Amino acid sequence: MRQDEHSFLAFLPTAPGPFRQPNASARLPGHPNLALDDAEPLAAFLTDELECADLDAIADRLWLMSKQSSGNISPLHRQRVKGREIVVTEEPKLHLIWFYSKIHVKPLPRYLLSRAFWQDCLLSRKQQLGANHPAILASALGFFRSYAHLIRHESDLRIAQDRALALIPDWMGWDQWCLLRAKALEIRNDEVSGRFQFGEIRLTRLNFYCKFLLRKAYYHRTHRQYGDYFASFYPPLLFLFGIFSIMLASMQLVASVEELEERWRHLLGLFRMFSVAIIAVTFMLLIMFVLLLTFKIGSEWIFALRCRYSLGQGNWGREREKAGP
């Protein structure tokens, strides 16, 4: 990987370069306990900090859970408009994973804003991080590019630099970031890891599909207590219980009107009609909810398949152009 292929390096500051102790080797910016020339622990650290092994392993199936676009990332101000709480996480596997009113965001490490670190380590021809060097580089490029989508406006930068979040160092100015962002968006999909070819991913879908794709009970546990876990079943169970209770009560009413005394016989037809109407309306409500659920799931599948097909057609066309006549 040549350094001149990545023009964003020219806009990275030189200030947060590798920290050096007297008579000692250069250290990883932000982590002075790690020497840049100590390849094994450095590679292990960067792997834990940047790679999403599970999502990379099922990257060819992530289109089932998210729009097939790396730009499917709402900027930080838009996350708040959507009513989402920005939850800071240091786990790369949770970066841009959202769950109802929360979205997880991993802060941009200081070393990824160091031009010297990119030039001397990640983009070095020596590939000093060993066999896992290409995977680390692809994850770093993808993670770095994701911030170009998260911070699109000056208001996004102010949110990112809020003390409660501290997603990006406060010395980064808007003018500098604006230039850096424009170049970061030039990073191509074939240069990043499989996970970062997609944007935000819904955790509920991940937890569902990981049972089949990863052979795991869940991707990330959302209920830490048994009470919370079982409480999640109450609403659908209560809904079904209410529906069937109304239907059974109506059936019982139909059966009981046959035993009315003689003086109420003239109301028999009215009671029977009312009971049957309740059964019919309740049954129609149940069918309506089932059809609505089927429609929503079907619409999402159709949208995902269309995106995948159009993307495949675009890639095929570009390959033909490269091949020439």
* pLDDT 10s digits, 281-318: 888 888 888 888 888 778 777 777 777 676 655 554 44
Kindly tell me if the per-residue pLDDT of 100 is higher than 70: yes
Same domain, 185 and 316: no
Q: Note the pLDDT tens digit of each residue in 140-172.
A: 999 999 999 999 999 999 999 999 999 999 999
Same domain? For 195 and 255 the reply is: no
**CB < 8 Å & 24+ apart, contacts of 155-160:** 155/76, 155/77, 156/75, 156/76, 156/77, 159/76, 159/77, 159/80, 159/86, 160/76
* Cα–Cα distance list, 58 to 194, 239, 301 (Å): 8, 35, 18
Evaluate whether residue 144 is within a structural domain.
yes
Tell me the residue type at 118: W
32/249: higher pLDDT: 32
Say whether both 25 and 137 belong to one domain.
yes
> What is the average pLDDT across 116-131?
86
Alpha-carbon distance 66 to 89, whole Å? 21
Percent of the chain past pLDDT 70, that is, above it, reads 81
The 8-class DSSP code of residue 121 comes to: I
pLDDT tier at 265 (50, 70, 90 boundaries)? low
User: Of 222, 160, 212, 152, which Cα lies nearest the Cα of 185?
Assistant: 152
pLDDT greater than 50 at residue 321: no
Paired sense of beta strands 97-99 and 201-202, if any: parallel
132 vs 238, residue with greater confidence: 132
Q: Does residue 73 form part of some domain?
A: yes
Residue 224 has pLDDT above 70, yes or no: no
Tell me, yes or no, whether 172 and 242 share the same domain: no
% of the chain with per-residue pLDDT over 90? 47
Last residue of a domain, one of 163, 181, 213: 213
pLDDT at 212: 92
Helix or strand or coil: residue 136? helix
- Is the model's pLDDT at 260 over the cut of 80? no
Confidence of residue 195 (pLDDT cuts 50, 70, 90): very high
Residues 286 and 151 in one domain: no
Mean pLDDT of 238-250: 77
Best CA proximity match to 70, nearest among 2, 14, 147, 6:
147
pLDDT in the model for residue 190: 92
First to last CA, the chain: 29
pLDDT reading at 11 higher than 60: yes
Measured CA to CA, the distance from residue 299 to residue 297 in angstroms comes to 5
Average pLDDT over residues 91-106: 96
In a domain, 220, yes or no: no
Number of domains comprising the chain = 2
Q: What is the mean pLDDT of residues 102-118?
A: 94
Residue pair 50/143 in contact by the 8 Å Cβ criterion: yes
Number of alpha carbons in the 13 Å side-chain half-sphere of residue 211: 7
The whole-number pLDDT of residue 320 equals: 42
pLDDT number for residue 323:
46
Provide the domain limits for residue 171.
3-213
In Å, what is the CA distance from 229 to each residue of 226, 235, 237, 240?
A: 5, 12, 14, 19
9-13, 135-139, 217-221, 318-322: range with lowest mean pLDDT:
318-322
Same domain, 10 and 140: yes
Within a domain: residue 221? no
**Where do runs of H (alpha helix) occur along the chain?**
39-50, 53-57, 76-81, 115-117, 133-150, 154-160, 174-184, 203-213, 226-231, 234-257, 268-323
Average pLDDT value for the chain: 83
Residues 190 and 310 both lie in one domain: no
Task: Say if residue 232 is in the same domain as residue 316.
Answer: yes
Q: What is the pLDDT of residues 29-85, one digit of tens each?
A: 889 889 888 889 999 999 999 999 999 999 999 988 888 888 999 999 999 999 999
Q: Is the dihedral of CA 68, 74, 75, 76 positive or negative?
A: negative
Whether residue 59 is found in the same domain as residue 188? yes
181 plus 307 within the same structural domain: no
pLDDT at 263 over 90: no
**Are 49 and 170 within one domain?**
yes
